[in-house]
Structure formats: C-alpha cells, structure tokens
Amino acid sequence: MIEIKRLRLFVAARLDPKTYLGLHLTIGLLVLGLALWAFGSLLQAVLDNQTLVRFDIATSVWVHARVTPGGLRFADIVSEVASPDIMAILGVVVAVVLWGQARRTACLAWGAAFIGGTAVQHMVKAAVHRSRPDYAAPFLSDKSFSFPSGHAMASIVGMGMLLYMLGRFWHPGRVWRLGSIVAGIAVVLLVGGSRIYLGVHYPSDVLGGYAAGTAWMAVCVSGLRVAEHQRARAAGLSSV
C-alpha cells in the first residue's frame, strides 16, 4: 500500500502544471522520447538498406516522372522558406526582440535551438553519409549528404520555437493563436514536400528531419523551463 501511495504521489507530481518538474517537463520528456524513437527507427531502416530504402527510391522515381516546370519553380520558392539565410534572419530578429525585452534565458534557448539544431543535422549527415537522390543536382548549391533533411529540421525547429515563444510571451488571441498554429504546420509540411518534389531528398530524409527537429526543440524548451525555474528560485532565496 505504501509503494502504491508513493507511486500515485510521484505520478501526481509529474502531472502538476504548477511545478517545473511537473506537467511541462513531463510532456517535454515524452515528446523527446517519442521523437528519438522515431528518429532511431528511421535511421535503422535507412542503414538496413531494405524495405524503406526501396520505398524511398520508388517514391522518388514516381514523383520525378510527374514534376512540371511550374511545380518545380513553386517548390523551389517554398523550399527557400527554410533555407539557411532565411532561418538566420528569423533567428537574429527574434533574438534581438527577446534580448531587448530582457528575456535573456529565452534568448539563449532560442539561439541554442537554431545553432545547436544546425550543428546536430550536420553531424548526423556526416555520420550517416547517405547519398542524395539521382535528381538532386540542379537544386543543390553544395555537396552535403541526404539524411536527415536540413530544411525539414530547420522548418520544424524554426516554426515550433516561434510558435512557442509567441504563445509563451506575447499571448495572441485565440483566433490568432489557432491561425498561427495552422500556418506553422502548413509551412513545415510544404517545406518537407518541396524537398521531395525537387528530388533533393527521399521521404525518409524529410521524416528524419522532422523527428530530429522535434527532439532538439523538446530539449531546448525543457531546458528553458528548468533554467527559468532555477533563476526564479535563486532570486527568491537571495531576497530572503
């Protein structure tokens, strides 16, 4: 009975939205765990070079046979939304706003999301060493590897962190909040789809980018919450 009671108290504490080790961190760790599991499963399937890889190749061939010049131009424009230049501009603008409003911890978490996310995807690309699809050359400016998709990862980190910061610090109304969430999801999906349509990534590359981006974003958001609690706690102790 004592052990059951302790378990109930532990679970209740983990689901308490009023504590920093409660609901918020629990959700963050759950999202992190699921994203890492998805990424690991995709990575294993890619390295096995069997069913998923055959699906990737077949999908790439099927899509390439149906592309049009207009579709390629549109996909190229959409793809640029998550390009390094655009993501850098977004990162700098929001960082300046956060710093100007004295939200130092949030600014550091924001910077970590962008800089760390870029570092993570480059390291994974180099480690996996997956070649690009056969149709990639016309739309590539460098010779980077394919898994995971950097654009897909950047889009989910950028849009996810932006939506989090907007909801957390600027509190838009319900209509604006819903509209921004729908718009953010649309951008992420369109960017991922554009990379497949352009022939620069396989579907599993895009899904891997989404999974890696979600995991990294969960780390940054959870770290921000813990750091804010520690700062508030330290401030409270120093005022006693």
Query: Tens digit of pLDDT for each residue in 153-171?
Result: 999 999 999 999 998 888 7
Q: Which two tokens stand for residue 157?
A: 């980190």
Per the prediction, the chain carries an average pLDDT of 86
Over residues 78-98, mean pLDDT? 92
pLDDT surpasses 60 at 5:
no
pLDDT of residue 11: 45
pLDDT of residue 28: 83
pLDDT of residue 171: 79
**Separation CA 164–CA 172 (nearest Å):** 11
- Give Cβ neighbours of residue 180 (< 8 Å, ≥ 6 apart): 163, 166, 172
pLDDT tier at 14 (50, 70, 90 boundaries)?
A: very low
CB atoms within 10 A of CB 204: 22
pLDDT of residue 22: 56
Q: Which pTM value belongs to this model?
A: 0.86
pLDDT surpasses 60 at 136:
yes
pLDDT of residue 144: 82
Q: Out of 85-89, 143-147, 179-183, which region has the weakest mean confidence (pLDDT)?
A: 143-147
pLDDT surpasses 90 at 94:
yes
pLDDT tier at 240 (50, 70, 90 boundaries)?
A: very low
**Separation CA 17–CA 22 (nearest Å):** 6
